[in-house]
Amino acid sequence: MEFTSKAYFDFIGEGRIMGSRCRACGDESLPPRLVCKECGSVDLEWEEFEGKGEVRAFSVINIPLSRMDGRSPYAVGVMRLDDGPSISGLILDVKEEGELSVGSRVEAEYVKEGEKTALCFRLVP
Ligand SMILES: [Zn+2]
């Protein structure tokens, strides 16, 4: 299957995090890429990642984008997956900066928004 954003989001809809892995140098990308960002190879394969990781950076947003109306404050972060690359996303049910820190454990949660599914994260103890 081609490395398109549609394919990526179709997998998210199935509750699977699929990225690309370069057969030449082993570099992993999320979302998947057509060309390896490290070595330029186009010899890539799909790789599935488990949705567990830790927060590497985050911000709590008090003034929301309009589509986020009713959800503010909310947190966005960059999560480093245990078995893969980093990916950004919403961290659910966080209202204050004090609830989060770099290194907080998170796991993936798939949130339906109409016909789409968004990859979000939730804090785990
Ligand atoms: Zn490569």
Task: Give the type of residue at 47.
Answer: E
Torsion of CA 87, 116, 44, 26, to 10 degrees: 20
CA 27 to chain centre: 17
Cα separation, 97 vs 21, whole angstroms: 34
Q: Is the pLDDT of residue 40 over 90?
A: yes
- Centroid of ligand 1 to alpha carbon of 24 (angstroms): 5
pTM (2 d.p.): 0.86
User: Is residue 23 a contact partner of residue 10, using CB atoms and an 8 Å limit?
Assistant: no
Q: What is the mean pLDDT of the chain?
A: 91
- Centroid of ligand 1 to alpha carbon of 122 (angstroms): 31
User: Is residue 94 a contact partner of residue 100, using CB atoms and an 8 Å limit?
Assistant: yes
- Centroid of ligand 1 to alpha carbon of 27 (angstroms): 5
- Centroid of ligand 1 to alpha carbon of 92 (angstroms): 33
Q: What is the pLDDT of residues 80-118, one digit of tens each?
A: 999 989 999 999 988 888 999 999 999 999 999 888 999
What is the layout of strands, in order, in the sheet containing 28-29? 28-29, 17-22, 44-49
Q: Is the pLDDT of residue 121 over 90?
A: yes
- Report residue 123's pLDDT band, with 50, 70 and 90 as the boundaries: very high
